[in-house]
Amino acid sequence: MDVSSRSLQIDRQKVVLISILAVIVAAMSFLSPKFLQISNFQNILLQLAPLIIIASAANLLMITGNFDLSIGSVLAFCAILHAFLTKQGVPIGLSIALCCVMAALWGISNGIMVGILNVNPVIATMGTMYAARGFAYLIARWDGGANISAGLPGNFSDFGRTNLFGVLPIILVFMVIAVGVFTFIERKTVLGRYGFAIGGNRRASVLSGINVAGVLIVLYALVGLLAGFCGVIQVSRVGSGFPNIGEGMEFDVVVAIVLGGTSMLGGSGSTVGMILGALIVGTAANGLNLLNVPYFYQTITKGLLLIVSVFADQTIRRRG
């Protein structure tokens, strides 16, 4: 497939996604008078921000044909580590930096397993998923309980709840930065081009001299880093450290990415598509909450949205 036909196909995918999003927004606006408000869209973005930040990097990883099941666990590990360190008197800034380093190390370890040792990414990252989650519980246990909330410093929540210029939550700023950086990486850098090449044909990429292992290690490290960073922000927003935070987040990330048109086999996808995928899921969930729809219907809706969106996309592709 040449570049022009691929970009045409991606544009068509985006049209499908935007149409689905428009239908959801229109329906929810009709059903709930509280939906079509700026404060609600800020609320939706606030809830989606950690997912979009992590998925920005995870999307590029999936474009290479790989994925990371340890996202939620690394997030939890760093969340609880941040609470633990600050409780022990480590300054907030230093604790955030240490947590980010630890998160990147989890990612690098995934990258080494997948890129150098050729361990299947499902197995490698599943191992990390269990190990990181186990360490998260262990850290809470070192503190003497199921979570860390007593004894946290008074400024613990400041970082996650900061509003830039008094109105813009800091996590939304980080989301915009992450999206901007990864859109740039995807479109304008060697790393982005190598990602598509590896996803398109890994063997050919190796033969053409691309350092596949290096690319994968960098991408896994970035995914880990962002997962850890989001863990720190989330725990700061909540105001206490829970080791079960982020459970199932890896699947939410995969849903957003796949819904956004990124192939699980690699070789195609875009950050913008991923954002649209996340918005579809997040907007539907928000609208259903506003309408007091019970949780189990929401889960069914999420599944149906995924199936219908992917089916519509594939049908249009076949006809296109």
Partner 1 sequence: MKKLTSLLLIACLAAMALSAQPIKTNYTVGHVVYTLQHQYHQAVAKEIVDYGKKMYGAKVIVLDGKADSGEILKAVETLIAQKVKAISVHSPDQAMTLAAIKMARAKGIPVVTTLVWPAEKIAPHVQPMETSSSFLMGQRAAQAWLAANPGKPSRVAILDFGKFPPVEVLRTTPFWEGVKAVDPNAVLVTQLNGQGDTTKSMEITLDILQAHPEVNIIFGANDEMALGALAACEQVGRGKMDNGKPLTEVIAGLDGNASAMIKIFDPNCSFKLTHGAVRDVARAEMDTMIGMINGKIDPNKWFEIQVLSKVTDYWHNTVDEAQVFLQENFLYKGNLKDDIAKAKKK
Please, which residue, 64 or 286, has the CB nearer to partner 1?
286
Which range, of 174-182, 193-201, 241-249, 257-265, touches partner 1 by CB under 8 A?
241-249
187 binding partner 1? (CB under 8 A) = no
Q: Which of 240, 310, 312, 316 binds partner 1 (CB under 8 A)?
A: 240
Q: Which of 141, 113, 142 is nearest to 127 (CA)?
A: 113
91 binding partner 1? (CB under 8 A) = no
3-class secondary structure per residue, the chain? CCHHHHHHHHHHHHHHHHHHHHHHHHHHHHHCCCCCCHHHHHHHHHHHHHHHHHHHHHHHHHHCCCCCCCHHHHHHHHHHHHHHHHHCCCCHHHHHHHHHHHHHHHHHHHHHHHHHCCCCHHHHHHHHHHHHHHHHHHHHHHCCCCCECCCCCCCCCHHHHCEECCCEEHHHHHHHHHHHHHHHHHHHCHHHHHHHHHHHCHHHHHHCCCCHHHHHHHHHHHHHHHHHHHHHHHHHHHCCECCCCCCCHHHHHHHHHHHCCCCCCCCCCCHHHHHHHHHHHHHHHHHHHHCCCCHHHHHHHHHHHHHHHHHHHHHHHHHC
Which range, of 31-39, 91-99, 100-108, 310-318, touches partner 1 by CB under 8 A?
31-39
34 binding partner 1? (CB under 8 A) = yes
239 binding partner 1? (CB under 8 A) = yes
Q: Which of 80, 152, 258, 306 binds partner 1 (CB under 8 A)?
A: 152
> By CB under 8 A, how many residues form the interface with partner 1?
42
142 binding partner 1? (CB under 8 A) = no
Query: Which residues ranging from 112 to 131 are in contact with partner 1 (CB under 8 A)?
Result: none
What's the min distance (Å) between Cβ of 66 and partner 1?
27
What's the min distance (Å) between Cβ of 123 and partner 1?
22
303 binding partner 1? (CB under 8 A) = no
237 binding partner 1? (CB under 8 A) = yes
162 binding partner 1? (CB under 8 A) = no
Please, which residue, 54 or 114, has the CB nearer to partner 1?
54
Which residues make up the interface to partner 1 (CB under 8 A)? 32, 34, 37, 39-40, 43, 46-47, 137, 144-147, 149-157, 161, 169, 234, 237-240, 242-247, 286, 289-290, 292, 294-296
